[in-house]
């Protein structure tokens, strides 16, 4: 699943960015902070997903090793 994140600019501006530099920088900072937080959350989710998948793979591998060891020992006792 691929998702894209687009910056959401405010739909209604109550000030003129060109004439009010402080307001422009404040708004830009707010938008970029929000964007960064979304990217961090996406990275965190992906990391958790990868950790869960690798944990499941290693658990299955350990289970298979345990099955083959028990089947080998039962064959040896015959």
Confidence of residue 32 (pLDDT cuts 50, 70, 90): very high
pLDDT score, position 43: 95
Question: What is the predicted pLDDT for the residue at 50?
Answer: 84
Residue 76: Cβ-neighbour burial (10 angstroms; 0-12, 13-18, 19+)? exposed
């Amino acid at each position: 699943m691929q998702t894209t994140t687009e910056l959401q600019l405010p739909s209604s501006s109550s000030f003129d960015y060109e004439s009010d530099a402080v307001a422009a920088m404040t708004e830009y900072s707010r938008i970029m902070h929000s964007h960064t937080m979304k990217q961090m959350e996406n990275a965190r989710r992906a990391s958790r997903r990868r950790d869960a998948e690798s944990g499941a793979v290693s658990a299955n591998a350990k289970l298979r090793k345990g099955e083959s060891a028990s089947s080998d020992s039962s064959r040896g006792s015959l």
